[in-house]
Amino acid sequence: MSGGRRTSVHRAILLGFLCAFSSSSVAAQVRLADLRTQYRVNPIGIDVTAPRMGWKLLSPRRGVVQSAYEIRVAQRPAELAKKPLWDSGRIASDASIHVAYAGPALRSGQRYYWQARVWDGQGKASAWSEPAYWEMGLLAPSDWTARWITPDLPEDSTVSNPSPMLRSEFTVNGEVASARAYVTALGLYQMELNGRPVGDELFRPGWTEYDRRLQYQTYDVTDLLRQGRNAVGVTLGDGWYRGRLAWENNRNTWGKHLALLEQIVIRYADGRRQVVGTGPDWKASTGAIRSSDIYDGELYDARLEKTGWSRPGYADADWNGVRVVDLPMDVLIAQDGPTVRRIREMKPVRIFRAPNGDTLVDMGQNMVGWVRLKVRGPRGTTVVLHHAEVLDSAGNAYFANLRTAKATDEYVLKGGGEEVFEPHFTFHGFRYVKVVGYPGELTPDDVTGIVVHSDMPQTGRFETSDSMLDRLQQNIVWGQRGNFLDVPTDTPARDERLGWTGDAQAFSATAAFNYQVIGFFTKWLGDLSADQKANGAVTDVIPDVLARHQAEGSSSSGWGDVATIVPWNLYLAYGDARLLARQYPSMRKYVEYERAQAGDDHVWSGGRHYGDWLAFATTSADYPGATTDKDLIATAFFAHSTDLLSRAAEVLGRTDDARAYRQLFEETKAAFDREFVTPNGRLASNTQTAYALALEFDLLPDGLRAEAGQRLADDVDAFGHLTTGFLGTPNLNPALTHTGHLDEAYRLLLRKEYPSWLYPITRGATTMWERWDGIKPDGSFQDVGMNSFNHYAYGAIGDWMYRTVAGIELDPAEPAYKHVVIRPRPGGGLTWVRASVNSLYGEVASAWERDGGRFELRVSVPPNTHATVWLPDARLDGVTEGGHAVATAAGVTSAVQKGDAVEVEVGSGDYDFSYPAPALADPGAP
């Protein structure tokens, strides 16, 4: 394809990308769309007593702003206009997110409808939006009349037992207007009503600090009920509550006995109300699930299925009873984040015979979930599925890195026709499945991969002219999918899968580009606060599996700092001051813990730290590795967390705290300089991580920043590659960029040899690796004790890719993309980049192309926001927008020359900037 033809194709693609979300209407009136309550569309079963509402404005015009809004709320749609429960009246405000309900107190189980209208910048009112709604859950322990029950079955608490099945029947007598089921469990549960599943969520009620926070779910079961007799059945699984967790045979972390709490509230058309729930009349038994463990997999014997057990009239005379147990009710909270669901299905790319004779299924992608198996065969035939992430150098499935996790599902056929199996209470991290005992020939039609993760809306897109960079972005996203399974896990394959705090803090900024993670982290941060020790320490994993019985504890720097870093990153991405306020006591408590550890000299020395985990290491005799002093790292993170706490206090109007912690930051910064920095800008640890932290955490005097940046660049040049670990890597490319060394940053990004982000791709990686050399250049494997091939921490480079390569930058002064800075920094030989983020206001997009002598940048700015656009290597008199001089273009409020760039201020709309630019430079050898 000729260069001109390629350019026109790229331009068409870029224009289509930016216009994909534009309104096709030419009407000038602003419309409201995507109404959400607590970030969700029409949620039911919430327990936030002042829920927040938000909407997006739609308009094809440029420069659209909201000058005022009005919200009205009613218990019925017909009452919104004439008899609202609450009407805000016209409020002069541009707020279109996080608008809190301020009407009469809300009642348990009640549905509330709402709608909004806005006035634009010219004072013209929009039409009222279509009604949306939310529904309250059970707001007080007294709303629960059901009782906790546990199955009265013989069990061995040292192993995974057959999954209990609990059932009961009740009568419906009259026309049902609505019915809700409120359900939770100690353990995991799956519920059926009259033989039909209730909800499609997985791993309910989720993993929390069960002793202090236990989620319940709410279901609309109106359509599942029938006149006369009805039956409810619930299957329980060990899950995280009492299943194997962490290492060795650690079981029963929160308790030895599973339990169920279930309450169905039926409202009849004639006004009657009926409540049925768990109690002493329930029955218990076991069935086909003989064992189910998150690490080890599931054994399912279809010969033991109890057909019809969740339908009325089932003969349960031989079933056991249940025991009513007295458990606390004040720990119950409504579902606090997205649930886990089946998100997509995948078919194998090949089925083949390995050199050792094993039959292997290749899904083509390292994924998290399981396979759905179709099979026909004689009764009693057992099919075994072993899951693996990679193949060894000989081409056989590699299981050693799973450590003690069996990651194995077994299915025993009942015979008599086609059977379909999916496990119930386990998940696996895998690309390959070793199939043993399959009767007949296994075909791709018999195997379907089921991808599961927390059901977060995907918000980010990132594509470039470099196919390997695109694969890196896909690997980052797949790593997030696989590890954001109710909590941010460290690996979905081996015997661990814990909510490691260091990984979460390193990746949280990237996570918020790729997916809407505010609900996911809101739930997890609630458990962080619950698990925080009395002395302020934050444990290594949340929920706390490892030190939960200790009243006080210790934190590792960079791990415990998740308490400050994640809330702040969420505030930047979503502008959620309420969450920031909720987490503020935890943030403050952790900084005070750091202060106590550092003492009067503000230098945190000693203590238990992981340091720059998994930094580059070598066997070279003259250079043992990139070891950064742990005291330097700890003091740097102490200063950084203090800085973030001060910023949070300022946002929340806590002026005294803001001033006090700003002073503490300055004192710690001075202590860092005295202890670890020479007068010439050399750090005590002359490593990339040391310089990256010092620069990005603003710990150096202004006069030494340039020198430190040059030393960092010199180290990168000397090695030709990165040497950073979990803590240094997220800050490395930003530090290079902010000190004027963009070329070095691009060389690191695009390097293909070990160690680099692209090296795993040359080895076939489809997710991020735990180690830079999980598979070494000679084809051998790293230490089997710690070698995950789906471990998202190094995916933190995605933040820099969005912010720098694509140029989508957040403004702390106007978070949530209320004001966005579009500032792409081309480099690395890339000829085009396009990226977008579906923010709470709408789609923010940046798409640039550099070909020959012209540079084009197309930008989308959603209504009710504004942007500052930086055009690199531009002269003001040469820039056009839409074919017109930039300064006179509609929607442009200013355009000025700033050094070798042009700075343009714009309102909402789609913009097309073009100007002559220097030819692409040779990126050099990566």
The catalytic residues are: 496, 770
d(CA 48, CA 311): 35
User: Are 285 and 268 within 8 A, CB to CB?
Assistant: no
Q: If you write DSSP's letter for every residue of 522-584 in order, what string do you get?
A: HHHHHHHHHH--TTS---SBSS-SSSTT-SS----TTTTTHHHHHHHHHHHHH--HHHHHHHH
Query: 668-671 contacts: CB < 8 A, separation 24 or more?
Result: 668/598, 668/602, 668/635, 668/638, 668/639, 668/642, 669/639, 669/698, 669/699, 670/602, 671/598, 671/601, 671/602, 671/603, 671/635
Q: Closest Cα to residue 769, out of 751, 752, 750, 755?
A: 755
d(CA 219, CA 233): 15
Q: Closest Cα to residue 11, out of 900, 787, 857, 803?
A: 857
Helix (H, G, I), strand (E, B) or coil at 31: strand
Query: 24-29 contacts: CB < 8 A, separation 24 or more?
Result: 25/60, 26/60, 27/60, 28/59, 28/60, 28/61, 29/59, 29/124, 29/126, 29/127
Sign (positive/negative) of CA torsion 73, 74, 75, 80? negative
Contacts of 8 (CB under 8 A, 6+ apart): none
Number of Cβ atoms within 10 Å of the Cβ of 398: 20
DSSP letter, residue 803: I
Q: If you write DSSP's letter for every residue of 874-922 in order, what string do you get?
A: --GGG-EETTEEGGGSTTEEEEEEETTEEEEEE-SEEEEEEEE-PPPPP
User: Are 70 and 99 within 8 A, CB to CB?
Assistant: no
- Take residue 816 and report the two structure tokens written for it: 């949530």
**CB burial string 881-904: b at 16+ within 10 A, e below:** beeeebbebebbeebeeeeebbbb
The three-point CA angle 60-65-66 to 5° equals: 120
User: Are 734 and 696 within 8 A, CB to CB?
Assistant: yes
User: Are 181 and 198 within 8 A, CB to CB?
Assistant: yes
Cα dihedral 338, 341, 345, 349, rounded to 10, equals 80
Contacts of 59 (CB under 8 A, 6+ apart): 23, 28, 29, 30, 31, 120, 863, 908
d(CA 516, CA 266): 34
d(CA 61, CA 484): 38
Measured N-to-C along each axis, helices 742-750 and 467-483 cross at an angle, to the nearest 10 degrees, of 70
Contacts of 575 (CB under 8 A, 6+ apart): 97, 98, 815, 816, 818, 840
E-strand stretches of 330-407: 332-334, 340-346, 350-353, 359-375, 382-388, 390-391, 397-398
Rg of the chain, C-alpha, whole Å = 29
Cα 283 to the center of its chain, rounded Å: 39
The three-point CA angle 181-184-189 to 5° equals: 100
E-strand stretches of 122-163: 132-136, 149-151
d(CA 436, CA 718): 51
Contacts of 899 (CB under 8 A, 6+ apart): none
- Take residue 452 and report the two structure tokens written for it: 């599961």
Q: Closest Cα to residue 152, out of 284, 257, 306, 264?
A: 284
